[in-house]
Structure 1
Amino acid sequence: MSSAADSDAAACPAGPEEAAAASGEAWSPVAEEWAARWGRVADPAREEIVRRAGIGAGSRVLDAGCGSGELAAQLEAAGAAVSAVDAAPGMVALARRTAPAADVQLAAIDRLPFSDGVFDAVIAVNALQFADDMAAALVELGRVTAPGGVVAVANWAERARNDLDTLETAVALDDGDDPDDLVDLDYRLPGGLEALFAEAGIAVEWSSTVDVPWSAASDDDLARGVLLGEDDDTIAARTPILVAAARPFATPEGGYLLRNAFHVVLGRVPR
């Protein structure tokens, strides 16, 4: 399972909970480990969004694709009235523990169980790519946002800005993938998220690139983070490949520091 979470979501069945179960099934078994290894990585992007969106006491905010609940907890601490959704039951259970005052529901990001215009801000961090149609999902995020409210999205930037992709490329090449197929998806390129916002009819107010470093304390931590969800035999077999690829990122302490980046876009729903 890719730590960057760039795989496509499954097609959604009829209701929000059924849709969530289909698109989030793979993430429940690894929810605890994902939270431990990756849950805080997006914090710099989250903090920038909360600050620029002016979220504070009384703000009605939806964390769309909440994962293990780190953003929801941050929003709670800011005094917001927080709702959150995720497609994986395991993530929902974690988020309810992480952000106990939030209303956390099982739902897919493109099938939200809320009425029109009920939130002052809707935020999706490393989640929009799980929708079958990212622009349509942005329309859905805008639907539940009040006129004049904020929609904000943060996703992994282009491969060249992410040391993590060096490691994932090494694994893909070991799998026999064609190097020519290892290219950026449009939404990861500069301007890609902005184009999706334009397609969804949400005016971009601010966009930037935010550094989101990730560290691993040892060879084993490195391999288990990159190969999240794989069995022990696979991890043991792939560790030498990852260690070789990660040599430029080694630290004097015997661990690794990978410098990565998110593109962050904040838009405003028309009044």
Structure 2
Amino acid sequence: MSWSQLATEWAELWGELGRPAWAAVAESTGIRSGSRVLDVGCGSGEFLAYAASLGATVAGVDPAEGMVDLARTRVTNVELGDFGSLPAGPFDVVTAFNALQFADDTDDALAALVAVTAPAGFVAIVNWAERELNDLDVLERSVDEGEPSPDGDLRLPGGLEQLLADGGLELVASGAVAVPWVLASDDDLVRGVLLGEDASVQRELGPTVLAAAAPFRQGDGYRLLNHFRYAIGTVVE
């Protein structure tokens, strides 16, 4: 199932997960009234709406038409596109939340972000931390048919920092930030973990997911503690 088809359900179950990371990026880059912000791989537009609430002028691009349609219900300046088709800018802050790792070439994708960033502006990259820092991994392992693939370099400590250094950026901030995932019901949890699977698969694997999630149950719902890693670099004049 495509990201366009999943857009509404993804936004419902996952769209607000990154809020603590948004705050870390906004604080480190000084997003405020008058800031020009571009979010690449903007999904359903939650971070764009957050940045706009701080007074920023925002723009976004995403390769999934369904995501673009949803994002436009939050902010107006969102276009269909990817790392190879960015608006000219310049932007004071350019962000990519859980997006850069999907590029065919991460170095080329980073160079594209830098190219539309103003002198002395900021590029912020955010993605999932290594699996051992994520309660979600317990649930994913419960339904994996085999061993999960090793964590990619960008998920490991120092990976994002090295990427920015290789791209000629001066590191200004980096770290790991807790991003709790809170679900209101069994149904929400199963749909979130098995997002994109058809109803028959969700019925088959749902009990396995719920059994694995038992340690994270709170009342009628669940709270899983996960982490994102982030690194922010500035464009050297």
TM-score by length of 1: 0.84
Aligned length: 237
Determine the C-alpha separation between the residues in 2 that align with 1:147 and 1:119.
Answer: 9
Among 197, 203, 210, the residue aligned to 1:243:
210
SS at match of 2:73: helix
CA distance in 2, matches of 1:154, 1:113: 18
Q: Which whole-Å deviations, capped at 9, do the CAs of 1:237-269 have from their partners, x for residues lacking one?
A: 001111121122122x13211000000111101
Note if contact 2:123-2:232 (Cα within 8 Å) is conserved in structure 1: yes
Structure 2 counterpart of 1:264, one-letter code: Y
Which residue number in structure 1 is paired with residue 86 of structure 2?
Answer: 113
Contact 1:44 1:210 in 2 (8 A): yes
- Percent of aligned positions with the same letter in both sequences? 50
**Alignment of structure 1 residues 70-149 onto 2, 5 Å:** 70-100=46-76, 103-108=77-82, 110-115=83-88, 118-149=90-121
In 2, Cα distance between the equivalents of 1:131 and 1:261?
Answer: 21
1:155 corresponding residue in structure 2: 127
Instruction: Say whether residues 1:57 and 2:33 are aligned partners.
Output: yes
1:177-256 residue pairs with structure 2 within 5 A?
177=146, 179=147, 181-251=148-218, 253-256=219-222
Deviations 1:168-188, CA, capped at 9 Å, x for gaps: 12211xx2x2x2x53211110
Q: CA deviation at 1:41?
A: 0.4
Question: Over aligned residues, Cα RMSD in angstroms?
Answer: 1.3
Q: Per the alignment, in what secondary structure is the counterpart of residue 98 of structure 1? A: coil
Counterparts of 1:260 and 1:205, CA distance in 2:
24
2:22 aligned to which of 46, 49, 62: 46
Structure 2 unpaired stretches of 5+: none
CA distance in 2, matches of 1:182, 1:257: 25
Question: Which consecutive segments of 4 or more residues in structure 1 shift more than 2 A?
Answer: 112-115
CA distance in 1, matches of 2:134, 2:85: 31
Query: Distance in 1 between the 2:98 and 2:195 partners?
Result: 16
Distance in 2, matches of 1:188 and 1:244, equals 27
Which residue matches 1:66? Answer: 42
